[in-house]
Chain A
């Protein structure tokens, strides 16, 4: 795929790739275990449980306990993949993530299932839109947001190999593949993947917003505006070099994410720009507790669409 082709039609729930990959990793490495909170079904762990009944630790509805148990497992030589709905993993167990995982420097992969507003009409209690800000604030915790199934799997490979404390979103909202066919690996830790070399505007997006940014680039191209798309799948540490290159080579950046603006990707980009190369930028995100509605309805509601991104880009170059 290049910047000027339309985004593929087929879409995927990243949890499917996640669970297949987890089984493959566990086949190869007996240290890998899954820890969850009555979330076997919602984390797509049924097949894992059937294959490795002893290596699935379901603690029940108890997220603080769940993350603490994972730390104990890591202390005992295991590599826990903690699988729970994003809002409860990041919100309920924040202090365990800080003290027991990051501060203690354990190789634990915290897998935030169904992040963003994937739980649409279940409402703000079930939306995981603050997670990136909360997790970014914790030292020694890498924050990953793979944008498609290929990236999800490649990020899991990296997670196991690195032995790092990691928070990773695993998307439920169906997304097309956004990984260009010519890439050797779908995910490189700490590197932004750039599609296109447009120098009017840079569209910086993460997760569900990446395919929408690619569509926005198509819309803009038809109007004679050239865009490049930056897929940020490592939110922390941020690839400042690629951000600054885009800032130098374009008239401005649009940053789009399925999360709050305070402390999210946009805030990370803004800090990098302000300190090194002040540039014009626009920030799109979730601006307030959502009203009732499906994930798609809410993305539309908050302007997190190809059109919303293109509109913001036009204002920058116009």
Chain B
């Protein structure tokens, strides 16, 4: 073994030597780049998963297919893991399974193309579940197109498979995973017996395959319109909840229905056009409908009513909120009406079928569409009563429920109980599942989750440090200050491992590159020329000539013919104050990919500090939280004169969340430091995920008013305060406190990118 290999791989580091040994590869091409690739892999792959990664790579090197599979894998896999977040390790065995299946079949040649585009595919699909669908689709194509040509045995590889892999990133730009499935299915069904044609189909070189692609992409992908939908919610409805897509392609039995819960508004991942209504408008209809419930519906107690009665209440309530929505924006009627089925009056036979759903859907149609043309007397009477109830106000869920129950009673039939129900034309697919409309007295899950949040920080709070500083607090009720009310303890933030922060920064390498470009534009260019000066340090020749010509020509010359230089005026001191309250522990996203707000804040703070360090503005960073007015903690993370170095990074790495948010006291204390700086501009940047609050204060207005006061005090000192809020509900109070100087981040995931961008735009 002590031959060529050891020369090639004289790795310095014992760990690297160990990795190389585990990889067990003899390819010199691999040895050349191994160290570099490992460095990249170490950034995203967790230590416990490393062996599996190296084993997989080693396996790929021994397939007898040359160096390509192993090289491609080493190159691409870290990106796959990055795209999958923490689901990376789940995906590896599934991918390797599929590789083995290809190797066993005559399709081994497709392994490299498969690995080649896997990272791009993963980036588009984003979850292990979706990626599994992709593997299933590919496997299906493989088994159904391998070797069956002209009845031969499995000796021919699938002509379409490598093509599919090559085109996959492009296809997924255009199609949902469901659309991809249909497109592949079409290709298999029509071209499984024509190898050349099949190859052309999957290579997108056949008119047919492009046409099917076009057809499949008729849908509007959520991923493509997400921003527009958030803007829609905000502009028309002043709502700013999260939008969360669910997959529609694989739940054949029970099509999922829109709904909303604590985590946001749930909508399908794709909407096809429906007649004249474009996919985007279907999304808008879904959102508007849910907004209507959020505005006007109140939960009802379900236990008292039968399932039929509940169904009727839901139909009636849906109609009520839509009527109110149309009042706000009349154009919605056209969209709702186009999407609402039009049940035919006599289509349901009450002798054999339960027709209640059918009757309710007719009623619903009639509420929306004055030209419904239904003759049924009861229906017409109830539609009239419905409009009368809403004539001079929004009415209420309870009132409409009363009407719904009366309608059920009036139109009741024995056959409503029949097991055969007419569903046709009764499903209104832009409506949500109304889960919000019901509460159940039984099985209340109002568990008391209270476990003492102070416990874990109790140790820390025993830190002995400087004596506290006392600050006043504004009492809006009496319009006076409570003197020496809040005690602020300051301390140096504990340190962790600075390498963790470097790892975070590497993750944002692309963003850093982009920032770097912006920073270079902003960087003080030592001298700035100021033109059009009456008095200046030198003559501005262009302007002077122009003035002379004017003068000679008898016109009045512009006397501002000088220019002067000024060393750039970028004289800014900034203090970043970070909210470290308990709520930062909240997780965003689902499953293992979830990140806490704290983690995102660490990334954002690091990027900002890095950026400002390059720019040269003095920056201080501090964190704060509180446990009643007797204990406001203010922790120094970076001082104005410290560089962005390992010491500081180590402190950022150790940031922890706990306790409450007594903002006013922290702001005043930060102002105490910032006020001592001599700079033209002094900026206090506050990063928070919520409103001021503390456990010894019950009136939410109190700390809001105090914080507002603190901001005013800072303003009077010449310190500009700017708040970046991560609280989607912040619109309610943030303007009141910070005036115009705030921004609410709609998508918290984008904090790392947004914080530095915000700073740059604020100081441009």
A and B: real partners? no
Interface residues in chain A, defined as those with a beta carbon under 8 Å from any beta carbon in chain B: none
